Amino acid sequence: MEPIPPTIGRRERKKAATRTALSDAAMRLFLERGYDNVTVREIADAADVSTTTLMKHFVTKEALVFDRDHDLEDALVAAITERSSETTPLGALRNYIKTRLSLLTSAEARQFLDLVLSTPALSDYWRAMWLRHEHTLAAALAAESGGRRDDPAFLAIAHFALEASLLSARSEKPLDMLEAAFDILENGWRIRIAALDATTAF
């Protein structure tokens, strides 16, 4: 008989509900009026809480838009550590980011992305949010590849992979951009150029 998972307490449920209400209110107002035209007080009023309560849940205004930072890091690491035996660590990371990019085809996702890319404060926060996971990602890549944690190559790969995701999301052809970036990461620049030369030769 499997153990029964612990139930979430009333206090935790209330916190989660408040966070969701604040995040939903913020996104609705940002999409209606633009990020820079909405104040923290207006978001708090829309969610029927005080500004003090809002700041307890979200330290910055930008954080209201990106509410799953911790979940993102867990997912990045899990993509590598829980991959199939036939998939390389970098290949697993490529597949994970490709799956995330495929979700951008929905109207809601495009609306969200347009808001982020058209707002410098959000765009900068988005990049910083992704890149602060590079050390954890580098450690996972090193561990799963049998390398040393202090090998700078893994930090470089983690950094460039995360940057590739951001670059691809901005591209008109995100999946093509991602494949090009990861081809270079996995095979090197010379192999990529050699493949292009072979294609144009015919």
Please write the tens of the pLDDT for every residue from 96-111: 999 999 988 888 888 9
CB-based contact 95:79 (threshold 8 Å)? yes
**Domain 69-200 annotated CATH 1.10.357.10:** yes
Task: Cite the residue boundaries of each domain of the chain with CATH code 1.10.10.60.
Answer: 10-64
What is residue 117's DSSP assignment?
Answer: H
pLDDT band (50, 70, 90) for residue 10: confident
Give 186's contacts (C-beta < 8 A, 6+ positions apart): 88, 90, 91, 94
Mean pLDDT value across the chain: 88
Alpha-carbon separation of residue 16 from 30, 35, 63, 98 (angstroms)? 21, 23, 15, 29
- The share of the chain scoring above pLDDT 70, in percent, equals 89
Alpha carbons 202 and 197: distance in angstroms, whole number: 9
Task: Cite the residue boundaries of each domain of the chain with CATH code 1.10.357.10.
Answer: 69-200
Residue type for position 21? A
Average pLDDT over residues 175-200: 76
Alpha carbons 195 and 192: distance in angstroms, whole number: 5
CATH number of the structural domain 10-64 = 1.10.10.60
pTM, entire model: 0.78
Alpha carbons 32 and 38: distance in angstroms, whole number: 9
Q: Is the pLDDT of residue 179 over 60?
A: yes
Give 133's contacts (C-beta < 8 A, 6+ positions apart): 72, 73, 76, 158, 162
pLDDT band (50, 70, 90) for residue 173: very high
Average pLDDT over residues 128-135: 93
Alpha carbons 16 and 179: distance in angstroms, whole number: 37
> How high is the pLDDT of residue 190?
66
Residues 60-73 pLDDT 10s: 999 999 877 778 89
